[in-house]
Structure formats: C-alpha cells, structure tokens
Amino acid sequence: MGSDATRDTEAELTGRERDVCLQDLLVKTSRTFALAIPQLPQPTLREVTVAYLLFRIADTFEDASVLWDRPRRLAALEGFDHLLSSPAVEKARGCAREWTSEPPTDHAGYLELLEETPLVFSALLALSESARDAILGHTRRTARLMAEFVTQSDRAGVLRLRDLDDLRAYCYAVAGIVGEMLTELFLLSGDGVAASAKFLRKRAAAFGEGLQLVNILKDSVSDEVEGRNFLPSTVDREEVFALARTDLQAATEYARELQRARAPAGVVAFTALPVELAWATLDRVEELGPGTKITRTQVFALYARVHQAIKDGRPVLESRRRNT
C-alpha cells in the first residue's frame, strides 16, 4: 500500500478506498482489534479505526527502546503531539519521512503504518468535528503521558515501574485513556446510550486498564527481554491478578450496560469480545504462567459465543464478581 505509485496524494482516494486502506493497516498492526473493530457500525467503525491507528503510532515510539535512544523517542512523541495540535496531511507527510528515515521498529506492519501517517491524517480530517476533537484530545493526552514514562526510563531505555500506583498510572496512559475516548465516541451515536453516560464514564478507564494488565501479565517475560519491565518488583504478582480481575469485572459491567441501553449490536460485540478474550487469557496465564496464549480456535469460539448471546438477547458476558 505505501509503495503504490499510482496514488499521488491521499486526497485522491474515495472514502471507500480510504476505508479499505485503513482496514488493511488495522489487520497488519493488531490481532484482537482487527477482529473487533470491523463489527462496529458506521461512522463509529471509521472513527475507532482512525483512533486506533493514531494510538498505535504513539505506542510505536514509546516501545522503540531497542532501536531508538530516549531523546529520539521523546522527540518523536513531541513531534507527534505537535502534529495532533494542528493536523494537516502535508505536515504528516514530513513527519512520516523523518520517522522512517531511521525506523524505530522492525515490525513490518508498524513501519507501514508510519509510512502511511498522511493517509491516517487524511481520514482523521474527514471525520465529523465532534469525533475528530474527541480523538485528538485523548490521543494528545496519551502521547504526553507516554513521554513522561519514557523520561523515567534509564539510559538503556528500560522502564521500571516502582509500585502498584505507578503501574496503574502507566496503564491509564496507554489504555485507560483509550477506554475514555471510546466512550465519548459511543456517546456521539445519538441513540439511547446517552442515558448511560455516567455509568459508562465511571468504568471507561478500568475497561482499558484491565485489558492492558492482562497483556502485561501475559507478556512479562518477553517484555523484560526487550527492555521493558512493567511489573514492579515491590508488588506481589497476585495483587496484579486481583486488580486485573476487578477491572475486567468493571469492563464486563460496561459491555452489559451498553447492551441494556440497546446500543447497536456491533458496539456491544466490539466491547464484549476483548473482555471475553481477556478473561480467558487471564485464566490461562494464571494457570500456566507468562507467555501462554489462547488458541485461534478458542478465539473464534468466544467470538461465536458473544454473537450468539447478542442474537438470543442473553447477557453478552457473565458476571465473574467473586463473593467476599
């Protein structure tokens, strides 16, 4: 896609062509969200796709400790924040050239995404003003908080979180804000979800935090090899498992409230599927240790379960609150 010589400018793409290119980037940069996002109805699908890709650009800079030193990562996050403050396709094109001249990653999908930054910004600028403002504001907050954590890393680029509060602050920066942004996009739909705004906003950050904690627990060994250490040495791992369970319960309530409020089936499925996958992954990691994953067969079985529950009018997720 990035090397297509027949496309001179992003503006030449029709809306449909742009959507196809964005979905291609989504598939190349995410497993879970490439399965979940296409279930959304328009225009939410397009809005969430653009938002995910923008957050993924910021993640790429934050994660680049192997190939980029700390000043380079901070400069990229600052440049990205500046681009978000006054988005323009031509500015995005210049940033893309700078970021890929000495790539921060050897992941082919992430590298292609950086090359296609102008396309992502072209799609962003085509969104409604309310959606665009929500995405820009939340993405800028994430980029700035990521920069604070990059600053905390040592000269070798290794980030060591101090305690549980530090871990939660990190999860909020990279995932809790995502939950808040998604909530605002869902509330723009104009359906009955608006009546549940207070309930959803209260659980939005926990929705993102829970998914992030599961990933941290699952990837803790490989993260450490790659220069990241998100599990504080002062915190018992069981505390992190307990926090993840609490957050996933809040995320379960979030998805069920969307269903109760008669949100579009695609919105309910989009929120429920990652939570269902996270519960299954957490159980497996708790039983077998870091590095274990659920199988593709299990993923599609959970996908089918979520959609069947929606079709049957049953609660999309089962409450797993433990008795105390």
pLDDT at position 192 is 84
Tokens standing for residue 294? 């659920």
* Angle, alpha carbons 55-306-50 (nearest 5°): 20
* Region 11-157: CATH code: 1.10.600.10
158-317: in CATH 3.40.50.720: no
Checking 103-107 for CB contacts under 8 A at 24+ apart, the result is 103/67, 104/60, 104/61, 104/64, 104/67, 104/68, 104/72, 104/73, 104/76, 105/60, 105/63, 105/64, 105/67, 106/67, 107/60
Asked whether the domain spanning 158-317 has the same topology as the one spanning 11-157, the reply is yes
The three-state secondary structure class of 26 is: helix
Query: CB 282: neighbour CB atoms within 10 A?
Result: 20
Mean pLDDT in order along the chain per 10 residues (324 residues): 48 80 95 88 96 98 93 97 98 98 96 98 97 98 97 86 95 97 92 92 98 95 75 94 97 97 95 96 94 91 95 92 46
Determine the Cα–Cα distance for residues 121 and 20; give it in Å rounded to an integer.
Answer: 15
* Sequence spans of domains, the chain: 11-157, 158-317
At position 239, the amino acid (one-letter code) is: E
Phi, psi of 4 (to 5 degrees): -70, 105
Per-residue pLDDT reduced to its tens digit, 225-239: 666 778 998 999 999
The torsion angles phi and psi of 159, rounded to 5 degrees, stand at: -100, 125
Within 10 angstroms of residue 32's Cβ, the number of other Cβ atoms is 15
pLDDT score for 229: 79
pTM of the predicted model as reported, rounded to 2 decimal places: 0.91
